[in-house]
Amino acid sequence: MSAVMLPRKVTRKWEKLPGKNTFCCDGRVMMARQKGVFYLTLFLIIGTCALFFAFECPYLAVHLSAAIPVFAVVLFLFVMAMLLRTSFSDPGVLPRALPEEANFIEMEIEAANGNIQAGQRPPPRIRNVQINNQIVKLKYCYTCKIFRPPRASHCSICDNCVDRFDHHCPWVGNCVGKRNYRYFYLFTLSLSLLTIYIFTFDIVHVALRSVDSGFLNCDSGHCLVSLTPYCTVIEVLVCFFTLWSVVGLTGFHTYLISLNQTTNEDIKGSWSGKNRVQNPYSHKNIMKNCCEVLCGPTYPSVLDRRGVMAEDSLSSTPSPPTSDVVATKSNPVTPNTKTTAPLIPNEHTPDEAKPSIAAAAQKTTKEEKVSSPRDSGPKVSPAPIVVKESAH
Ligand SMILES: [Zn+2]
Ligand SMILES: [Zn+2]
């Protein structure tokens, strides 16, 4: 009797990732855990458009033009595509340091700080890098155990460091960062157009019907027609309140893009000039800044969340249940996570730690290099960054 070989369950990296994210479709879809407001966004967009298609479009197609519903459908599909692309993608999460890498960086910091007497406050964990002749501070993340790359920040809701962190948007149910910012912007822009479009044609519809037969005198006996005034009022109200917020938000992000700045940097006043630090990422040209943010290359995810876990890392420690894994407060770094750590290597880095560090650094270097539209433009590249030990 031959032994029956049972197929071994493959464990993918997303199952062991720390941070407060949820995954579906075997790691292809990644979102924040709190999704209530995202469902409200879906409900408002789909609901308002459904009312428009059901009650206004048939009348407008007959009395004005068949192109009106066609354009509305195209715009609606584009809005939904941009929303889902923003919500379901990796915003640019940076992997946490492996335990051995975290230990090494701790040792390095302790060595740099020297002996600190009892009761004395340790100096802040900061490293300085030079970008386009500007000194930019890299802060240490105590949760991810890494020195964050420039422009990265830790999202307290998702519990991850996100590269080129803009903000956490509950309306899209995800962080907005390096990998999904342009889709977020296109979503707000197209949603503004869709809202203006529906609002305008609601008013046109009311005006045409009023001229025809009196808008509120829909006494044809047809239930759809008799419901029309109420649905139009709901649409007008939703569009009216959406208009102010979404158009305002689009205007604000257009301003940020023209300066090559993030919401996070704007709120913190990172480049406000009070510290004599100008934005080293700005090309000092609105068109160049817009091109870089909106038309630059798309960046690959550094999480490799669908990669298969190595067997030795699985067997070394008992694994938690394979649902959405959350790092507990006491043990924020899951030892099973086999990811590359975005540490900044320097001359003290031992050889065995360099491959994983180099992999992360190389990726960033490649991305940043491509992101400069021209060689003559301001170079935003960590490659020429001079990593200096902090003064402490
Ligand atoms: Zn972090
Ligand atoms: Zn977040």
List pLDDT tens digits, range 257-271.
999 999 998 988 888
Contact 262, 271 (CB under 8 A): no
Identify the nearest ligand to the CA of 176 by its number: 2
Per-residue pLDDT, 321: 37
Identify the nearest ligand to the CA of 91 by its number: 2
CA of 6 to the centre of ligand 2 (A): 39
Ion ligand 2 neighbours (CB, 5 A) are 155, 157-158, 168, 175
Q: Residues of the chain with pLDDT > 70: what percent?
A: 71
Identify the nearest ligand to the CA of 165 by its number: 2
Mean pLDDT taken over the chain: 76
Q: What contacts 24+ positions apart, CB below 8 Å, involve 145-148?
A: 145/96, 145/97, 145/101, 145/102, 145/105, 145/106, 145/333, 146/94, 146/96, 146/97, 146/105, 146/341, 146/342, 146/343, 147/105, 147/343, 147/344, 148/94
Per-residue pLDDT, 226: 61
Higher pLDDT, 28 or 14: 28
Coil, helix or strand for 115?
A: coil
Per-residue pLDDT, 384: 34
Per-residue pLDDT, 322: 34
For the beta sheet containing 93-94, the strands, ordered from the edge strand earlier in sequence to the opposite edge, are 93-94, 160-162, 153-155
Average pLDDT over residues 8-25: 80
Average pLDDT over residues 191-196: 94
Active-site hit among 49, 144, 169, 231? 169
Higher pLDDT, 267 or 111: 267
| Residue 354: band (very low, low, confident or very high) from pLDDT cuts 50, 70, 90 | very low
Q: By mean pLDDT, which of 160-164, 210-214, 262-266, 312-316 is the weakest?
A: 312-316
CA of 198 to the centre of ligand 1 (A): 42
Average pLDDT over residues 126-138: 81
Identify the nearest ligand to the CA of 145 by its number: 1
Per-residue pLDDT, 317: 44
Per-residue pLDDT, 212: 73
Assess whether 169 carries a catalytic annotation: yes
Higher pLDDT, 76 or 283: 76
Cross-strand pairs, 129: 136
Ion ligand 1 neighbours (CB, 5 A) are 141, 143-144, 154, 161
CA of 104 to the centre of ligand 2 (A): 28
Per-residue pLDDT, 125: 79
Does the structure show a pLDDT above 70 at 352?
no
Cα–Cα dist 376/369, whole Å: 12
Mark out the alpha helices in the chain (DSSP H runs): 36-51, 57-63, 67-87, 99-113, 181-212, 223-259, 263-268, 286-295, 311-316, 354-371
CA of 181 to the centre of ligand 2 (A): 13
Per-residue pLDDT, 370: 37
**pTM of the entire structure?**
0.73
CA dihedral defined by 342, 343, 349, 351, rounded to 10 degrees? -10
Q: At 357, list the tokens.
A: 């560090």
Contact 158, 171 (CB under 8 A): no
CA dihedral defined by 6, 12, 30, 380, rounded to 10 degrees? -160
CA of 145 to the centre of ligand 1 (A): 7
Q: What contacts 24+ positions apart, CB below 8 Å, involve 22-25?
A: 22/324, 23/305, 23/324
CA-wise closest residue to 165 among 100, 106, 247, 90 = 90
Report strand pairing: 174-176 vs 146-147.
unpaired
CA of 253 to the centre of ligand 1 (A): 25
Cα–Cα dist 194/243, whole Å: 10
CA of 77 to the centre of ligand 1 (A): 35
Q: By mean pLDDT, which of 21-30, 226-235, 340-349 is the weakest?
A: 340-349
Average pLDDT over residues 198-208: 89
Per-residue pLDDT, 345: 36
| Residue 314: band (very low, low, confident or very high) from pLDDT cuts 50, 70, 90 | low
Q: At 55, list the tokens.
A: 């009650």
Does the structure show a pLDDT above 70 at 110?
yes
Does the structure show a pLDDT above 60 at 344?
no
| Residue 100: band (very low, low, confident or very high) from pLDDT cuts 50, 70, 90 | confident
Structure-token match 């340091």, residue found: 97
Contact 349, 357 (CB under 8 A): yes
Q: By mean pLDDT, which of 205-209, 269-273, 338-342 is the weakest?
A: 338-342
CA of 212 to the centre of ligand 2 (A): 51
CA of 240 to the centre of ligand 1 (A): 39
Average pLDDT over residues 84-101: 91
Identify the nearest ligand to the CA of 157 by its number: 2
| Residue 334: band (very low, low, confident or very high) from pLDDT cuts 50, 70, 90 | very low
